[in-house]
Amino acid sequence: MKHLTILLLFSTIMIDGFTQKEIFDITTYTAPKGWKKQISEGNSGVQYSVQDDAKGTFCLMTLFKAIPGTDNSKTNFEASWDELVKGIFSVSTPPEMQPVAEEDGWEVQSGYAPFESSGLTGVALLTSTSGYGQIVNILILTNTDVYEQAMTLFLESVSFKKPATKPTDATGNTNTKPVQSNNTSIKDKYTFNTTNFDDGWTSVIKKDWVEVTKGDMTVFLLYGLPYNVSNFSGTGVRERDYYWDNYVTKYFSVESKRYNDNGEVIGSFQPDYVEGWAKDKATGQRRFIGMRLSIAPNTAFIVIASAKNESLLRQQFPKANDKYTSDLANMSSYNKFAVGKNDLTGTWSSSGGGTMNWYSTTTGNNVGATGVVASDIFRFNTDGSYSSDHSGASGWVGSMNTYQSKYRGTYSVSNWNVTATKRFNGKTESFSAWFEIGKEGRLLHLEAPGLKYSLFKEK
């Protein structure tokens, strides 16, 4: 195999065989045409793969969801390499690092090394992009130089949306507390049900949605709704019509309905966006509304913007109908609420996994599968102590690598942060912490460089 370098991978090569732009989390990219696409369980990453069984060659490119990072891009790379490469595959040498690239506030650290897993050998290439407190990782595994041009075009196509500003008090003081009560919010046993963001938006928990307001503009972040692809595939029913007609009309008396497709006539290229005039059933006000629909595995998410008139909605959300970089869809990042001192007491856990089946390109037969499973449990006690247990397995099914770790220490909480002692190698870990609200309750997010936990409370 030829010597792979980042300089080669980032050179400008235009080739056919790639589709339109796609968006995943904060990353926009061009997907390789004809490669198999898989979304990981929990929506933590998107993977593209290709294999030539006759030649024994393969290539996997995995784009991961953004996670919190430090201000040091090299530290972020090292933590990501330990988790995504060394934690899964056998790697005998340190990664060969490439020159650091910088653009628009983002800094890219890249490195590669040979790997081995259950008799499979190749090269693991990791690009770790740091900026604005976030890390976006792309991991490429291959055993051939045949796909160098495809890898190049994929990496060249990648761009990132700058994350939303950190939730703070509306005064802009990042050290002040979120609002602890609100007369119109849903009350529960947790400390915070309102968040004031430093860009002027305010989020409040409601029965069926999180309501985000700024001035006279209101955005409704509806909790996840049922989605079954069989209701739409081959039926002639469009998702955007179904959710507008069956859910938007629950809360608005619709006067008009129209699309804003920018002249696009091919259905699969049209945005999942509908707009029109309607009367808000709760207030009786006549409003111009826009609905943006997003689909995750088995779940649909609706974001509705409500403005006094069409001009104001366009002004606030000029890209509401953009298929790949909708600023209205990105309002989902405002479903974010601080963690109070007494909110963590109890047991929080998550578990999940996924598999990827490999098929021969010549016979079509299944030649094996790779998979990953993981379980994480945190127990927070009233006396300030905690325990956490982590276990999982990854690799080729039938010969997976397993891991198990246990931690015991103390913890403290300060609105957007949870600090836990005696973590890996006895070190203290500082997690960014917040609640995301859903129909079934609160999802606790704990994130640190190279770590991301999304936990439900056990009853």
- Among 1-5, 175-179, 412-416, the least confident range: 1-5
- Residue 375's pLDDT is 87
Question: What burial letters (b/e) apply to 166-185, b meaning 16+ CB within 10 Å?
Answer: ebbbbeeeeeebbbeeeeeb
Q: Which two tokens stand for residue 175?
A: 């050290």
3-class SS of residue 316: helix
Mean pLDDT on 97-116:
90
Q: Which two tokens stand for residue 448?
A: 């640190």
Task: Collect all residues with Cβ–Cβ distance below 8 Å to 282 and sequence separation of at least 6.
Answer: 251
Among the listed residues 196, 194, 191, the one whose alpha carbon sits nearest the alpha carbon of residue 414: 191
Task: Collect all residues with Cβ–Cβ distance below 8 Å to 60 and sequence separation of at least 6.
Answer: 47, 48, 49, 139, 140, 141, 142
Domain spanning 6-160: CATH superfamily: Mog1/PsbP, alpha/beta/alpha sandwich (3.40.1000.10)
- Residue 357's pLDDT is 61
**Sequential DSSP letters for 16-58:** S-EEEEEEETTEEEEEETTSEEEEPTTS-EEEEEEEETTTTEE
Cα torsion angle, 135, 170, 431, 349, sign: negative
Whether residue 173 has pLDDT greater than 80: no
Count CA atoms closer than 13 A to 218's CA, side-chain side: 18
Whether residue 353 has pLDDT greater than 80: no
- Residue 409's pLDDT is 97
Q: Which two tokens stand for residue 78?
A: 């090292």
Whether residue 176 has pLDDT greater than 50: no
Mean pLDDT on 223-247:
91
CATH of 208-334, one of 3.30.460, 3.90.470, 3.40.1000, 2.60.40: 3.40.1000
User: Which CATH number does 346-457 carry?
Assistant: 2.40.128
Task: Collect all residues with Cβ–Cβ distance below 8 Å to 167 and sequence separation of at least 6.
Answer: 178, 195, 196, 197, 198, 336, 338, 416, 434
3-class SS of residue 167: coil
Q: Which two tokens stand for residue 432?
A: 């960014």
DSSP annotation of 240 reads H
Domain boundaries, the chain: 6-160, 208-334, 346-457
Whether residue 13 has pLDDT greater than 50: no
Query: pTM of the entire structure?
Result: 0.64
**Sequential DSSP letters for 368-413:** EEEEEEEEEEEEE-TTSEEEEEEEEEEEETTS-EEEEEEEEEEEEE
pLDDT tier, 323 (very low <50, low <70, confident <90, very high otherwise):
confident
Residue pair 421/411 in contact (Cβ under 8 Å)? The answer is: yes
H or E, element range at 4: none
Q: Decide if 208-334 and 346-457 have a common fold.
A: no
